[in-house]
């Protein structure tokens, strides 16, 4: 090959390699036939494309995680991860149906003289009937609360989730990062692991709410027993605490939980994970990039490869 003085050594080397490859390909075509070689070429190209997109995805996730930001990556292959077990989902369903019942029947009991409460009582069959429905909700809440204690202590999945829900120093950093992002001071928001500080706050607020609402609720429910043990002002305090905390809990759920899980444009109208228990790779990369990295690292350890390989062969076909 004639040497061109303007070309760098790298370029010359590249040309040599290209030429070598081309002549090797020609030789293969002659020996194996054009059909076999072009099929092999296609497979090689598909593999290359796949490898490149995986590397881009890894790079984007890592880059964003390093900047403490949430990556926006559209993976080439759709894959679903299990986020919530069946037991987790059943507890959540019982919890929210009980809470909805309690809130819907409790608030009219707090404002019984208002016009809208009168309409509500007409619909439910009166104040006493509403109180009865309220007590059904209370049984659901107490039941799920008691079961949850068993779940987080005796069941592996529960213990794992509980540990992940414990507050950490990182959560405080995440709050600062996100607030400065919302204020436009920083260009990127926080990147979360399995549970964000928003979800942790939701979880721990329920503990406080349960202790106050169940204790005061039981005192109101069994007034005679309460009065036979304690002076009357204990019952008055319980009534005040139940009434005000009930309103606070209702507003907190509407403002905090409903905004974050339903009205936030990232989730609107809602994610179906509460029902299916599954989350797509696109969503897990965006909402829980650190957990995603951990899952991939663990998969890599157990299977080898880059860890991002989709387990099903149909999905492998989709890469092509
Ligand atoms: C999310 C949970 C709950 C909310 C939001 C809630 C809300 C309320 C509200 C606002 C009232 C009206 C208070 C007033 O008269 O000013 C009330 C009454 C009452 N609540 Fe709850 N509550 C909840 C949980 C419970 C629980 C767990 C129990 C029982 C263990 C309970 C038992 C009662 C009873 C017995 C009354 C009086 C009802 C009546 O007069 O018939 N509540 N609740």
Same domain, 103 and 151: yes
Whether residue 244 lies inside any domain: the answer is yes
User: Does the beta carbon of 106 lie inside 6 Å of ligand 1?
Assistant: yes
For residues 243 and 294, give the distance between their C-alpha atoms in angstroms, rounded to a whole number.
44
**Mean per-residue pLDDT for 7-12?**
74
pLDDT of residue 3 exceeding 60, the answer is no
**Mean per-residue pLDDT for 202-229?**
97
Segment 127-150, tens digit of pLDDT: 999 999 999 999 999 999 999 999
Whether residue 49 lies inside any domain: the answer is no
Segment 166-208, tens digit of pLDDT: 999 999 999 999 999 899 998 888 999 999 999 999 999 999 9
Same domain, 104 and 123: yes
Maximum C-alpha span of the chain: 107
pTM: predicted TM-score of the whole model, two decimal places: 0.74
Same domain, 179 and 319: yes
User: Does the beta carbon of 206 lie inside 6 Å of ligand 1?
Assistant: no
Whether residue 46 lies inside any domain: the answer is no
Which residue, by CA, sits nearest to atom 43 of ligand 1?
A: 106
Whether residue 12 lies inside any domain: the answer is no
The candidate with the shortest Cα–Cα distance to 230, out of 249, 244, 215, is 215
User: Does the beta carbon of 249 lie inside 6 Å of ligand 1?
Assistant: yes
Contact 271, 261 (CB under 8 A): yes
Same domain, 181 and 150: no
**End-to-end CA, the chain:** 37
Domain ranges, residue 302: 64-83+168-190+277-320
Cα of 251 vs centre of ligand 1, distance in Å, is 15
The candidate with the shortest Cα–Cα distance to 210, out of 123, 143, 278, is 143
Segment 297-310, tens digit of pLDDT: 888 888 766 556 54
Specify the number of domains making up the chain. 3
Whether residue 15 lies inside any domain: the answer is no
């Amino acid at each position: 090959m004639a040497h061109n003085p303007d070309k760098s050594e790298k370029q010359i080397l590249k040309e040599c390699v290209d030429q070598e490859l081309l002549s090797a390909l020609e030789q293969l075509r002659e020996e194996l036939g054009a059909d076999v070689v072009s099929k092999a070429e296609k497979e090689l190209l598909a593999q290359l494309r796949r490898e490149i997109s995986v590397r881009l995805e890894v790079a984007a996730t890592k880059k964003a995680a390093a900047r403490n930001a949430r990556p926006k990556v559209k993976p080439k292959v759709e894959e679903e991860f299990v986020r919530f077990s069946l037991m987790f989902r059943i507890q959540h369903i019982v919890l929210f149906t009980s809470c909805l019942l309690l809130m819907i029947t409790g608030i009219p009991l707090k404002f019984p003289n208002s016009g809208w409460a009168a309409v509500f009582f007409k619909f439910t069959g009166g104040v006493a009937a509403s109180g009865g429905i309220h007590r059904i909700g209370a049984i659901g809440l107490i039941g799920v609360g008691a079961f949850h204690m068993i779940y987080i202590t005796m069941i592996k999945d529960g213990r794992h989730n509980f540990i992940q829900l414990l507050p950490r120093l990182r959560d405080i950093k995440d709050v600062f990062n996100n607030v400065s992002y919302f204020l436009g001071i920083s260009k990127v928001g926080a990147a979360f692991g399995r549970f964000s500080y928003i979800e942790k706050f939701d979880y721990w607020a329920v503990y406080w709410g349960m202790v106050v609402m169940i204790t005061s609720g039981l005192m109101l429910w069994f007034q005679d027993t309460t009065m036979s043990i304690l002076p009357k002002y204990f019952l008055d305090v319980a009534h005040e605490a139940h009434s005000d905390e009930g309103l606070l809990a209702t507003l907190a759920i509407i403002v905090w939980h409903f905004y974050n899980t339903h009205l936030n444009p990232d989730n609107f109208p809602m994610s179906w994970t509460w029902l299916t228990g599954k989350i797509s790779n696109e969503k897990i990369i965006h909402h829980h990039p650190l957990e995603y990295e951990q899952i991939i690292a663990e998969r890599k350890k157990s299977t080898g490869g880059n860890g991002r390989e989709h387990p099903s062969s149909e999905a492998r076909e989709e890469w092509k």
